[in-house]
Amino acid sequence: MVLKFIKKMFFPSMTVVGILGNMSVSVNYMFSWWGSPEKKLIHVILIHLAFTNIILLLAKRLPKTKGAFGLRNFLDDIGCKTIVYLERVARGLSICTSSLLTVVQAIIISPRASGWRKLRPKSAWHILPFFSFFWVLNASISVNLIHSTTNTRLNVSQLRGDESNCYFMLPSQKIKWIFLPLMVLRDAVFQGAMGGASGYMVFLLYKHHLHVLYLQNSKLLYRTPPELRAAQSVLLLMLCFVFFYWTDCAFSFFLSFSLEEYSLMVNIHEFLTLGYAIFSPFVLIHRDELLTGFWHVHLGKLRKCLSFTCSISIGRRLSVLQYYG
């Protein structure tokens, strides 16, 4: 009973926190992009990543609000197909966008004499075609879910579902062996690119660390360039992605071959599925001076507003007490 209550409160609250965090990141980077004379291409990719995370959180949790709030017939057949399809597309977009973020950041911090420097995007127009390709790719790979998803339980032995009342019809072997290899190939290619770019950035940051030690021994001052600080943030973000992705895969593998359904394991698996989308914006907020300054300013305004409201309320109560006293 307690576990069920915690689940009903925990997942919706974490989803709201994740959506607010991603909205904060996207809105701040949009204002920074339009208002700053120096356009940072990384901000465009982070805006797309935050937008993808919002779609994933809404698509994953929206059908399950029925169970949390006691609603019935929340989604019809078309609604189920749309929600499940968007969830799968958003998950693939998250992988592709995270990989693009790592590769572009590695190119940005590469030395001027390096051949990778020639691949550096000059403007956002060089980034937008990648987004279009990602959407087409993931929409094509996930198209089989439109046929395989329903909100009507026809045959228990042929369907898999959860409390959202959206069910999966087990695909035929032919369809399974068409789309499954494409998904595996997509994950392998983009995570391979992510791993290679991350390793290259670690190498460059290590060389920079040795350079800083040399300057400190020479009693010279040196300030870390913004590009290298951004690279450190991207690496931390990729560590967050790798942790949640591979832990999620391990739990999925265990649950798919388990004969018994462990409630605790299912809940942990669901949390891991949403973990990257929830925590990635707060990694950026913690590391990025722009986002940190925004939160400090607005939290300060909120404190002043609350203190002003409290002082008015206390003043009114004192005046009432004096009037009746």
Token pair of 126 as six digits: 């060089």
Q: What is the CB-side half-sphere exposure of residue 203 using CA atoms within 13 A? A: 10
pLDDT tens for the chain, 325 residues long, are 556 666 677 888 888 999 999 998 888 888 877 766 566 788 899 999 999 999 999 988 877 765 555 555 556 778 788 888 999 999 999 999 999 999 999 988 888 777 777 788 877 788 899 999 999 999 999 888 887 777 655 444 444 555 556 777 766 667 777 888 889 999 999 999 999 999 998 888 888 777 767 666 665 555 666 777 778 888 899 999 999 999 988 888 887 776 566 677 777 888 888 999 999 998 888 777 655 555 455 455 545 655 544 455 544 544 544 544 4
Which pLDDT belongs to residue 314?
46
Cβ within 8 Å of residue 33, ≥6 positions away: 39, 40, 43, 44, 47
Cβ within 8 Å of residue 133, ≥6 positions away: none
DSSP string, 276-313: HHHHHHHHHHHH-HHHHHHHHHHHHHHHHHHHHHHHHH
Which pLDDT belongs to residue 30?
84
Q: How many CB atoms lie within 10 A of CB 237?
A: 23
Which pLDDT belongs to residue 55?
94
- Walk across the sheet containing 159-161 and list its strands: 149-150, 167-169, 159-161
Token pair of 181 as six digits: 């290899």
Which pLDDT belongs to residue 54?
95
pTM: 0.81
